[in-house]
Copies of this chain bind each other. A is one copy, B any other.
Amino acid sequence: MTLVDTITITSLNFCEIIPLLATATEAENAPMVLSGVLASLVVIYLASTIGAEICARINLPPVLGQLLGGLVVGISAFHLLVFAEGGGDISDSLMMNFLEVTTGLSPNDAAAIFQVDSEVISTLAEIGVVILLFEIGLESDLQELLKVGPQAAIVAVVGVVTPFVAGTLGLIFLFHVPTIAAIFAGAALTATSIGITAKVLAELQYLNSKEGQIIIGAAVLDDILGIIVLAVVASLAKTGEVELTNVLYLIVSAVVFLVGSVFLGRLFNPYFVKIVSELKTRGQLLIPALIFAFVLAYIATVIKLEAILGAFTAGLILAETQKCRELKDQVIPIADILVPVFFVVVSAKTNIGVLNPLIPENREGLIMASFLIVVAILGKLVSGFAVFGQPDTNRLAIGVGMIPRGEVGLVFAGIGSASGILSSGLDAAIIVMVIVTTFLAPPLLSVVFRPNQLAAEAKVRESAKVPAEVKEAN
């Protein structure tokens, strides 16, 4: 009888009222699962808002404040947000202690709820970054992106090759790291965190500038290159040689996906507008748009790319319809409540304990980390100067925009450490490199895009927008 365990919105806590009927554990726990999620969201929102507001007041990008807020409430400091998947124990979680105390949960039930809540909040965070990239796509201009395509490609390739080669060789020759491990660490230096960069650019209102579009284009390509690099490195680690079929498969599927979805999407756009205009019930624009975004995100994961690439592509396609502005207005509140979850969760899971030089085990890692940080920053800065034929381009800004490694680098560290390829020192070094580049990039970006430049750029953008709108109206 599946009805029995229907979703219990009647959040009765039966635990104390009817212990006799305690076999209905799911019915009992469901309201507590919700309570735990709501309490976690409150902590996330407080951390992100306070962090963002402080940063905004000292002219730093708000997203940096959200990341710092996450550090404060997370595993590194106050343990309010601890995640079961991170190997975190329920006893580490102040939030679960609070839930146990306030609701009289039994420790067994609390452990089950801790597990579920961790998964729910993590998934909300992932949906948050999907929505972020969808919004970024909506705010991007496909024409402009295609125009800067060659520049973006060169920035991406240089920004992947330089840190990879310099990092790998440096680790082998300066630190005598085994070749496979060095290649793995070098690979971790390649991928740019598109989420953090795009968010900072949007906050600086620089997303639609030429530099902004080159950075976004390059970050998207970087993501794809990162996936290919990971496949190559992993197959090297496994068999000592590169499985060409896998690599070819990834390259072909990425190209087919991007080109195909943009091409088919443009054909589909008039039908989208037509369908949306026919609908009468609530959410008539938002829901079809999200269906489209989620389908592309799903297809992207199925062909071994990333969900965020699909969401970005969907935004890019819908940005060309006449419904774009209305859609953006409706996506903003959704992004407002989901995107902070992503940034706070990412940094709540980051343990900055590995940065403590007073702990002797950290030292070897910190020395290697210093080297990796220098390579990570210089390797991406160089990529900005690879831009050709664009005299009045802020090349420094492009290079800086590519610096944050974010969660992508952590995936490499995670896999490397789980598989035993990386020594704990090197693993920690990668994590430190990721933390430093991620937290350094937002303030650096706001320095290189100076406010006066911003104003000038805004004017150019405004006047450039008019013909696009006229076109849109047809």
Smallest CB-CB A-B distances: 10 pairs? A283-B336, A2-B86, A24-B418, A18-B234, A21-B419, A52-B281, A4-B414, A330-B333, A20-B238, A11-B306
Check if A109 is an interface residue, CB within 8 A of chain B: no
Contacts of A235 in B (CB 8 A): 17-18
Check if A216 is an interface residue, CB within 8 A of chain B: no
- Chain A residues numbered 343-360 whose CB sits less than 8 Å from any CB in chain B: 345-346, 349-351, 354
Chain B proximity mask over A287-315: 1 for CB below 8 Å, otherwise 0: 11011001101101110111110000000
Contacts of A75 in B (CB 8 A): 2
What is A's interface to B at a CB cutoff of 8 Å?
A: 1-14, 16-21, 23-24, 26-27, 30-35, 37-39, 41-42, 45-46, 48-49, 52-53, 56-57, 62, 65, 75, 83, 85-88, 102-103, 116, 119-120, 122-123, 125-127, 129-130, 191, 195, 223, 226-227, 230-231, 234-235, 237-238, 246, 279-283, 286-288, 290-291, 294-295, 297-298, 300-302, 304-308, 330-337, 340, 342, 345-346, 349-351, 354, 407-408, 410-411, 413-415, 417-419, 424, 427-428, 431
Whether A87 pairs with B5 at a CB distance below 8 angstroms is yes
Contact with A408, one of B10, B27, B295 (Cβ below 8 angstroms): B10
Contacts of A330 in B (CB 8 A): 333, 336
Whether B125 pairs with A411 at a CB distance below 8 angstroms is no
A294-B42 CB under 8 A given contacts A11-B308, A18-B238, A21-B234? yes
Contacts of A333 in B (CB 8 A): 283, 286, 330-331, 333-334
Whether A346 pairs with B294 at a CB distance below 8 angstroms is no
Number of copies: 2
Whether A304 pairs with B334 at a CB distance below 8 angstroms is no
Q: A3-B350, A6-B410 are in contact. List 15 more A-B contacts (CB 8 A).
A: A4-B410, A4-B418, A7-B345, A8-B414, A10-B407, A21-B418, A23-B418, A31-B307, A33-B123, A37-B123, A42-B291, A52-B282, A62-B281, A120-B123, A333-B334
A7-B349 CB under 8 A given contacts A2-B75, A123-B33? yes
Question: Which label, helix, strand, loop or mixed, suits the secondary structure of the A interface?
Answer: helix
Contacts of A419 in B (CB 8 A): 18, 20-21, 23-24
Whether A129 pairs with B9 at a CB distance below 8 angstroms is yes
Min CB gap A334→B, angstroms:
6
Contacts of A191 in B (CB 8 A): 10
Whether A2 pairs with B83 at a CB distance below 8 angstroms is yes
The docked-state distance in angstroms from the alpha carbon of A230 to that of B17 is 9
A346-B7 CB under 8 A given contacts A12-B306, A33-B119? yes
Contact with A7, one of B32, B56, B126 (Cβ below 8 angstroms): B126
30 chain-A/chain-B pairs, Cβ below 8 angstroms: A1-B417, A1-B424, A2-B88, A3-B414, A5-B87, A6-B349, A6-B407, A6-B410, A6-B411, A8-B407, A9-B129, A9-B307, A10-B227, A17-B246, A18-B415, A19-B238, A20-B419, A21-B415, A24-B415, A26-B85, A27-B415, A30-B126, A35-B301, A39-B298, A42-B295, A49-B291, A56-B280, A62-B281, A62-B282, A102-B302
Contacts of A123 in B (CB 8 A): 33-34, 37, 116, 120
Whether A122 pairs with B30 at a CB distance below 8 angstroms is yes
